[in-house]
Amino acid sequence: MPQESNRQKQAEETKRRVYFCALELFNEKTYEDVTIREICEKAQVAVGTFYHYFDNKESLMDEFFRQLDSKLEVKWLAYTPASPSDGIIYLIRTQLSTTVENNYIASAQILRSQLSNGAKYITDKNRFIHRILLKLVTEECAGGRLTGDPDVITDYILHAARGMLFDWCLHKGDYDLLAAAQLAVEMVLKYYGD
């Protein structure tokens, strides 16, 4: 049994190495110019190993969002918001802070990949961030602090955050993304406020 556990750890480490090597390459080259062969060479794995963990480059980018969601969930579970609105701001800032750690080049490549990916993981309403934001917005609506359809308000909050991320990438990361995104989300909340 311990041998199986070691194999599982080794497999997870290999998957992580492939993933992080790909992110490094996306900091150096465009998404389209990075090949699976290059990723494998950098990660020191066979091409078949890549396909064991990922169907293609798009599924590797989906892994970025899954990892982002996983980090966000861990941080969220350790946080106690003062109010639902505080929780909304915290979620957006925390998610974008994780994105900023990868810098604007990798973030732009990841956004670009979503344009060509049919699945559009970034807009999946089953993602952790969407589910928790919707819960918080619904609480604010039930408490009379927001007026409108919680689904629509949640979508606009996410539109604002993704729009700020896109603009930040266009400006090569030359402004405080977290402050700008917080302001944009606060404007959405004020618009729908009582």
DSSP string, 16-33: HHHHHHHHHHHHHS-TTT
For residues 101 and 88, give the distance between their C-alpha atoms in angstroms, rounded to a whole number: 20
Q: Which tokens go with 12?
A: 């997870």
Higher pLDDT pick, 5 / 162: 162
Residue 194: predicted pLDDT: 65
pLDDT for 193 beyond 70: yes
Homologous superfamily of the 1-54 domain (CATH) = Homeodomain-like (1.10.10.60)
Q: Mean pLDDT throughout 169-186?
A: 93
- Mean pLDDT, rounded, for 11-17: 91
| 167, 70 contact by CB (below 8 A) | no
Q: Is 89 helix (H, G, I), strand (E, B) or coil?
A: helix
Condensed to tens digits (0 to 9), the pLDDT of residues 65-80 reads 788 888 899 999 999 9
Predicted local distance difference test score (pLDDT) of residue 42: 96
State yes or no: pLDDT of 28 exceeds 90.
no
Domains 1-54 and 56-192 share a fold: no
Amino acid at 56: N
Q: Above 90 in pLDDT, residue 111?
A: no
Contacts of 112 (CB under 8 A, 6+ apart): 30, 31
Closest Cα partner for 89 from 184, 191, 167?
A: 184
Average pLDDT over residues 82-96: 95
Query: Which of 154, 159, 104 lies closest to 130, judged by CA?
Result: 154
> What is the model's pLDDT at position 2?
53
pLDDT of residue 178: 94
Domain boundaries, the chain: 1-54, 56-192
Chain centroid, CA 140 distance in Å: 24
Domain 56-192 has CATH 1.10.357.10: yes
User: Could you tell me the pLDDT band of residue 48, with boundaries at 50, 70 and 90?
Assistant: very high
